[in-house]
Structure 1
Amino acid sequence: MTRVGDAIAYVRFARYAVPLAAPVSDAKVATGRQRPLSQIDVLTCEIGTRDGLRGLGFSYTTRAGTPAQYAHVREVGESLLGRDPSDIGKTYEALLWAGASVGRSGVATQALAAVDVALWDLKARRAGLPLAKLLGAYRDSVRVYNTSGGYLQAPLDEVKERAAQSLAGGIGGIKIKVGQPDMKEDLRRLAAVREHLGDGVPLMVDANQQWDRASALRFGRAVEDLGLVWIEEPLDAYDAEGHARLAAALDTPIATGEMLSSVAEHIGLIEAVDVIQPDVPRVGGITPYLKIAALADHAHTQVAPHFVMEIHVHLAAAFPRESWVEHIEWLAPLFEERMRIEGGRMAVPDRPGLGLSLSGRARDRLIDDVEFHGSGR
């Protein structure tokens, strides 16, 4: 048991590059805005206390940004030494002020996300509880859908085959990408997947901000009879008014929010859409995520967090309204543990904290690391 007055005595930040088995493409690639995604870049934070407790957290970027995050935590990370690890809010605010000149969103707070997650992991480990239980769980498992098999570079037959494999492996729903230059091709692929899966399988689509308001409305009306769980990111992520109009015009729920990087940016969207999709690393950590979730609960808006299932399974289990967690297996090489999935649901790990530890294989993907040591105040 931790004594009152424990202090942070060790901090390690590390950068990892985790290659994907094969590059993937969504609407941003199909329309020339981005290159195919070939790896996930991860920033980890390991915190140790004077009394021997440990916490592990991480953030990530795609295509660009992790070197900037790493540079930021190298500057502010030493100030963690000597702080009480239980004072998460106080520590978060101190780190914000340490980097105040670069703002309170974007790269700066996404770097701090790794620290914040590590502190919550440590706090739950101290209590001997999974993070979901520390926060106050409503359930021991959450509904789970797969995204990684539905990208646009994959031929239709491959999308159907991987969807079937996911369902056979215990996944409960399937999401496929849309937003190609020719909407007719999107509709053709979507209809074929729906026919292949049958009407009873939950099916989502994700346009990755591809359409203008008129195109999104046209697509939404064309797919109303397919019984989709949601249409994700139909419009620019910051177009709250457009999303509100679209949600009002369609029976199919509208989901968005993964690209936003602060609590303030989510406020307008929470009341505009049916499903808000915050991402812990992108919004700056679990501390700001919990604020977003509370606002969404007050507005009776569903929350379906984006990516990083290893963190989000705990937060989804601790949210009053049951929704979905996104299954993407890309970060698996970094961790020893695997998520348990069966019957369409992902089990909350029963190990303390996040229930994660870095794998021996992670060393092969290490780019750089830095450590800070101190006896504590």
Structure 2
Amino acid sequence: MNFIDLKSQYQHLKADIDARIHAVLDHGQYIMGPEVAELEAQLAAYVGVKHAIGVSDGTTALQIALMAIGIQPGDEVITTPFTFIATGEMIALLGAKPVFVDIDPATYNLDPNLIEAAITPKTRAIMPVSLYGQCADFDTINAIAAKHNLAVIEDGAQSFGATYKGRKSGALSTIGSTSFFPSKPLGCYGDGGALFTDDDELAKTIRQIRSHGQDRRYHHPIIGLNGRLDTLQAAVLLAKLPSFADEVAARERIGARYSELLKDVARVPALAEGCNSVYAQYTIEIDGREAVQAALKEQGVPTAVHYPVPLNLQPAFAHLNQPVGSFPHAEAAARRVMSLPMHPFLDEATQDQVVAAVKQALA
């Protein structure tokens, strides 16, 4: 049994993917070839923003976004401790301080009610994570940010394709960011990512940063980095985009079926009002996780934990002096969450096998 089944997806789209890849091999423009601009136009139209900028990966996307809004050493950026390391890592890499705020235990996303208490004169931005495929509460977050003149960057690495009150992830903040890592809802065949904004000046800055800070060849008004999206990865994404809406619908259907079948034995994902989820992970909460995972492994059912150690307890952030107990909801989730096999090609028979194994392990 596959935790994520990329092989079935490839077989389903093989002709289109192969044709797109071979077109790049034929024209030979492997860096910033025409497929990159074509993809950016399609991504912008899909998300509903003026600008989509392809970048090398989701982590670099966050770094570029922070650089584009002018984050400097000593600045503070409010974010969640319950996320992949990249979220806090990119803040720290720029010399800024990640200021963690606990999560809403229902959605696992940043709790907006705790944000204002964390704002100081050094705060420059808020970076919510749309975890597991569901967008954070952006109306509330944006209102707080506007009141305090802060930028908002969505870390939407797991939520591309999700909808929040009729708007797409990526179109909900000053800058939206996503990842096209192979296992993401829309994944390429290597690393890839994108940034989204309606702000013309920010888009211009992002494009410059992505290519060593240059506005034209060998002219560098600002300091940037090498953050370009490979043409081959853009080609793969172009082949996948036409069927992406169908895959999102399948993810929603499979996620809802999991929840219906498991709601009596485990805590299943809670969807906030006006939100859907693309279930980048289908994650439940259970007691005795290690024993349950071992039992499922014996039954041939793979599982994963996203994420077992919140950022405040990572050695890299020990200097922030936020020990166990600092963020009780994030820490409780880290002890109890477990992700099950989830992908658009998961058939009901396999899903029933997963559910039966979970129920047996929890009995």
TM-score if structure 1 supplies the norm length?
0.33
Specify which structure has the higher proportion of strand. 1
TM-score (ref. length: structure 2):
0.34
Which of the pair is proportionally richer in helix? 2
